[in-house]
Amino acid sequence: MRNLIDVTDLSVAEIDELIATAEDMIAEPDKYAQVCRGKQLATLFFEPSTRTRLSFESAMLSLGGSVLGFSEANSSSTAKGETVGDTVHTVSCYVDIVAMRHPKEGAPYAAAQYSEVPIINAGDGGHNHPTQTLTDLLTIHREKGRLDNLTVGFCGDLKFGRTVHSLVNALSRQKGINFVFISPEELKMPAYIKENTLDKNGLSYEETASLEEAMPKLDILYMTRVQKERFFNEADYIRLKDTYVLDPEKLETAKKDLCILHPLPRVNEISIAVDSDPRACYWKQVKNGKFIRMALIMKLLELQL
């Protein structure tokens, strides 16, 4: 039995396989409409995230399966002091697969020790969110036709942004990736990622505070939001959140085939005027998120067409 706790639980070949399945699902969704008939997915959201939960539920429904679950810890047994292991163990007696989100880091790893069915980590605090990374990879692949030999810019909160860390990690396993890290001094990429993931693998990266300077060379621009809850000080937050706002003017020097990604929700870091630019791919990304989750559910349930 396989779980997906961290995106590196999957090999590069397995990720390629998931992307291929998802692309086939996008091309011919009807083929997959009954694959999960009779199967149940539980979405256990100990912390609410409507967007991620609905993506999982829509994925399972599109495969012909059914869904049940809860959102918010206080509506569940956790409020009565039950451990995450016991809650997940109980639910795993009813269903075929579990997608869980939890505010504590490592909770899905703990749950997986007690579960009788595959666990998908749908986000554990600021730690991992592997299905977002798979979504990002699928989107890059659909837009560029490849995952290697790309110049990828990451902009915004690179210190706390888990989606950024996880995507850097996943892309570091590809050939010929040039990383460009664009952030204010306070929100730079942590040293352990530069040392353990990039330096160790001999990968090149550059760091800059200027989005304008980086723009012309980018194939991919991954924007992130600066999250208020990461700051102790309101003034710091207000100052930093407006550092990088992507607007049509900044895009003037960008490549014609730049691909702009954002894990959403956005606050103000991408102006709405950019939405109509063909290079804006973040709404496609949302759509892709459902298909990669469909492919993942099929894989973890070991189902074939």
Partner 1 sequence: MKIDSIQDGVVLDHIKAGKSMDIYKYLHLDKLDCSVAIIKNVRSGRLGKKDIIKIDSPMEVDLDVLGYIDPDITVNIIRNGVRVEKKHLALPEKLVNVIHCKNPRCITTAESQLPAIFLLSDAQKRSYRCAYCEAEKTRRV
Interface contacts to partner 1, rule CB under 8 A: 83-85, 102-107, 109-110, 124-127, 192, 196
- Nearer CB in complex with partner 1: 7/155: 7
- Residue 147 per-residue DSSP state: S
Cα-to-chain-centroid distance, residue 177: 19
User: Is position 43 annotated as part of the catalytic site?
Assistant: no
80 is catalytic: yes
Whether 131 is catalytic:
no
Tokens representing residue 259 in the block? 């691909």
In the complex, the smallest distance separating the C-beta of residue 42 from partner 1, rounded to whole angstroms, is: 19
Measured CA to CA, the distance from residue 264 to residue 293 in angstroms comes to 17
Task: Classify residue 112 as left (phi > 0), alpha (psi -120 to 50) or beta.
Answer: alpha
Catalytic residue among 52, 133, 139, 163, which?
A: 52
Identify whether 102 is a catalytic site residue.
no
Q: Give 102 or 129: the residue with its C-beta nearer to partner 1.
A: 102
**Shortest reach from residue 106's CB to partner 1, in Å:** 2
| Rounded-to-integer distance, Cα 76 and Cα 80, Å | 8
Nearer residue to partner 1 within complex by CB, 127 or 141: 127
Q: Which residues pair with 45 in a beta bridge?
A: 71, 101
Whole-number minimum distance, CB 235 to partner 1, in Å? Answer: 24
- Marked catalytic residue, from 51, 146, 200, 228: 51
Closest by CA position to 129, among listed 289, 249, 305, 301: 289
The amino acid at residue 149 is N
Q: Which one from 53, 102, 127, 129 is the annotated catalytic residue? A: 129
CB of residue 149 vs partner 1: minimum separation in angstroms?
A: 29
Which residues are known catalytic residues? 51-52, 80, 101, 129
